[in-house]
Amino acid sequence: MNRRDFIKKSMAAATLISGVGIGLSSCTRDLRSELMNAETMPQTLIQIGPDANKILYYASLAPSGHNSQPWFVKMISSTRWIVGSDKSRWLPEVDASNREVMLSLGAFIENLVQAANSLGYVVETSVVAKDRFDSEVVLLNISKSTEMKIPLQRMITRRTVKSHMLPGELKASDVNDFKKAAEGRLYYFPRGTTHSDHMAKEAVNNFIIQVNNEKAMVEMANWTRLKYEEIKQHRDGLTPDGMEIIGLAGFYVRNFMDKKDVMGKTFREKGIEKIETQVREGAGWLVITSDGNTMADLIETGRRFQRMALTAREKMIAIHPMTQTLEEQQGQKNIKENHSETMVPQFMLRVGYLSQYPDPVTIRRPVDWFVRM
Ligand SMILES: Cc1cc2nc3c(=O)[nH]c(=O)nc-3n(C[C@H](O)[C@H](O)[C@H](O)COP(=O)(O)O)c2cc1C
């Protein structure tokens, strides 16, 4: 055994003993602050003006599957923009129908509209895509109006939170506020209820299906960014912090693992253990539904989800999308067999109160990386 292997094995042993994910307090470098401040962001080369820059920066803080950031913005003029879907950022193995791409674009548009409103613009949106594989998706018409009081800070401090959810049920007033944000299309299943138990079981089972699917694992590995330089270079994807692999386990993953190891047995097994632990935590599950599956339905649902996620941030409530059940055939079949045709679930979200809301950790591309003139 050479020295590198020896260190690698020793670290692996220590990591396994201590478990993956030690606690939020043992965070490492604050990459969000390090990489996304004025000095470290790559220079904006495209001259689109400070307001457009600001609006698109806030939009880019939206969540997306695998943090793939599947958006681009085409500036037809200073007041007419197209939000588009970047094919190179689709996830064909886990999201073959591009359903989640559309939901992520919806979340991006929600942030964009709120940021524009707060800067004194109104944004008219119209879906121009005919199907989920079109590149141009939503046309935006922007015009000057009066500034609205909107707390933009929530967009900066919101994140996906997967651990340390408290067991208490959601208060009725909080569920009502979520329903308002989701325009009624939201259901809460408190922990311990039959529905909640089913959703937890399905999340684990469908995750296991996914980690045994080589193509899905290759896709996932391709979106992992384990090393600092790689994170800095791409500014997207799944980082150790984003996957909540922190403390000693995070140190090991960052320093001794590569994409090939992400495909390995240990990583897969640890992933399953993690999901099993996660589904035991929290206040239960939220489901966001839509009226149908049109392009407008999906974009609107992404917007409703993001409104709900921003509301959750204000309330110190963790939201963790667990999409595998909606992605896998087995999950889809079970949902279909147990619900009416009119029930169209689009998000399955673990939810729970937090005693401390952790800082965001995932990185975004700078505006001019996704603006096309
Ligand atoms: C449509 C959609 C599906 C997602 N599915 C999952 C999922 O199945 N599991 C998970 O851990 N996170 C999921 N996420 C969360 C993303 O991984 C997360 O938003 C992204 O990494 C950026 O991190 P942030 O939300 O902390 O900014 C999903 C997000 C969106 C918008």
Query: What tens digit of pLDDT does each residue of 150-181 get?
Result: 999 999 999 999 999 999 999 999 999 999 99
pLDDT surpassing 60 at residue 24: no
Ligand 1: nearest atom to the Cα of 323: 8
* pLDDT tens digits, 60-81: 999 999 999 999 999 999 999 9
Q: Which residues pair with 350 in a beta bridge?
A: 285, 320
Give tens-digit pLDDT for 105-155: 999 999 999 999 999 999 999 999 999 999 999 999 999 999 999 999 999
Q: What's the CA-to-centroid distance between 49 and ligand 1, angstroms?
A: 30
| Domains and their CATH numbers in the chain | 3-31+159-353 (3.40.109.10), 37-156+361-372 (3.40.109.10)
Q: What is the distance between the alpha carbons of residues 29 and 36, in angstroms, rounded to a whole number? A: 13
- Give, for ligand 1, the residue of 323, 326, 354, 359 to mutate: max count of ligand atoms closer than 8 Å to Cβ: 323
Q: Which residue ranges have their beta carbon within 6 Å of ligand 1?
A: 63-67, 100, 103-104, 107, 159-160, 162, 242, 321-324, 360, 362
CA of 46 from ligand 1 middle (Å) equals 29
pLDDT bracket for residue 2 (50, 70, 90)? low
Q: How far is the CA of 324 from the centre of ligand 1 (A)?
A: 11
pTM of the model: 0.93
Average pLDDT, integer, range 359-367? 96
Reported as a single tens digit per residue, the pLDDT across 185-237 is 999 999 999 999 999 999 999 999 999 999 999 999 999 999 999 999 999 99
Strands 136-144 and 80-85: antiparallel
Ligand 1 centre distance from Cα of residue 6 (Å): 35
From the list 97, 331, 353, the residue with the least C-alpha distance to 203 is 331
What's the gap in Å between 38 CA and the centre of ligand 1? 26
Q: What is the pLDDT of residues 314-339, one digit of tens each?
A: 999 999 999 999 999 999 999 888 88
pLDDT band (50, 70, 90) for residue 48: confident
Q: What is the pLDDT of residue 19?
A: 43
Residues 6+ apart with CB under 8 A from 331: 202, 205, 206, 324, 325
For ligand 1, pick from 32, 100, 158, 160 the residue to mutate: most ligand atoms within 8 Å of CB.
Answer: 160
